[in-house]
Amino acid sequence: MAKTRVLVVDDSVVIRRVVSDVLSADPGIEVVGVAANGRIALSKLTHATPDLVILDVEMPELDGLQTLAAIRKSHPRLPVIMFSALTEQGAAATLDALALGASDYFAKPAGKGGLEESRRVIRDELVPAIHAICTPKALLPAPMPPSSTGRPARPGRVEMVVIGVSTGGPNALADVFRFLPAGLPVPILIVQHMPPMFTRLLAERLTGLSKVPVEEAATGVEPLPGRALIAPGDFHMTVVRDGTRVRAVLNQDPPENSCRPAADPLFRSAARVFGDGLLAVVLTGMGQDGYRGCQEVKAAGGQVLAQDEATSVVWGMPGFVVRAGLADRILPLNMVGAEIVRRVSRSGEA
């Protein structure tokens, strides 16, 4: 099988070397070029013919956002992964890059760990993402055996919507939330795999795009109809019943599926609290987070929607759910928001 050809663009000589060394150690990746800024990167695109570009956000002459915009004009389908500083400015620029069409992003480790931590992030997180984004669909894992969990003949009234998403998530969530009306009669809880600070900025951006306000969750907050809560970076989010009310609870229990926050803890707890009144939605993302949670959602009588393969940046999370026979409906991204509204509205008429 041909190696994935990668162009590394970063103004730091040290970062270029570390990224190149770790990527080159993987037998399925070939670093076909490096560049110190966007102008050099654009000049190398034609003869280096990369399958994927790793692009720093902050660079002299032509920064990451300007370079990405130029790449999208000349190579609209070329996957680009942003490599940004773990700062508020870096987080904001990263969300801008995702809106411009970047496939994914990674935050450069800062402080403790230094270069060794950088190598670990590149090896354990960036390399798998490159493979997931660039693997031909025909080579994806074989289908899983169908789940033994049954579906109710008539789902209960939807009382809560939970969403799990990862790679490609900010754009996917923006697409879904554009379809949601003001006054949606149920709350929405979201787990997006992101570090601290990024989730707060994402909540602010979704609020600006949607009629449904989004904010970071905090322990003790009550999910309210017509509003959404997103799990803060580095915290799992669960729900508990407190008398007649439901409250969000945050914790820093060990990562699940290598993620914190993870969708599975939220889905499990919501299935216990809402039973057949839960609607779970699994969108684009790498890995299988959400799969085990959806097993419990279905066992409790709830409903599951999954994004289809064609519109997913990476069909990992929804793919596991679909292959296991857990999805009530598999939808292209531009139909997910309307389907949420339809199911919530239909259940209200029941």
* Confidence label for 73 from pLDDT (cuts 50, 70 and 90): very high
Q: In what order do the strands lie in the sheet with 228-230?
A: 214-216, 228-230, 188-192, 160-165, 278-282, 303-307, 329-331
In whole angstroms, give the CA distance from residue 301 to residue 14.
53
**Which range (28-32, 116-120, 193-197) has the least confidence?**
116-120
More confident call, 347 vs 188:
188
Q: What percent of the chain has pLDDT over 90?
A: 81
Find tokens 């915290």 and name the residue: 235
Residue-wise pLDDT tens digits, 275-325: 999 999 999 999 999 999 999 999 999 999 999 999 999 999 999 999 999
In whole angstroms, give the CA distance from residue 274 to residue 280.
11
CB 228 within 8 A of CB 212: yes
Supply the residues annotated as catalytic.
166, 193, 289
Query: Burial code of 304-335, b = ≥16 C-beta within 10 A, e = fewer?
Result: bbbbbbebbbbbbbbbbbbbbebbbebbebeb
Residue-wise pLDDT tens digits, 85-140: 777 888 899 999 999 999 999 887 665 557 788 888 899 999 999 999 998 654 44
In whole angstroms, give the CA distance from residue 220 to residue 248.
5
> With the C-alpha atoms ordered 187, 192, 196, 197, is the resulting torsion angle positive or negative?
negative
The pTM (predicted TM-score) of the whole model is 0.91
Residue-wise pLDDT tens digits, 141-186: 544 444 444 554 456 799 999 999 999 999 999 999 999 999 999 9
Quote the tokens at residue 279: 């609607």
CB 44 within 8 A of CB 79: no
What residues contact residue 82 under an 8 Å CB cut-off, 6+ apart?
Answer: 55, 56, 57, 64, 68, 94, 97, 98, 102, 104, 105, 106
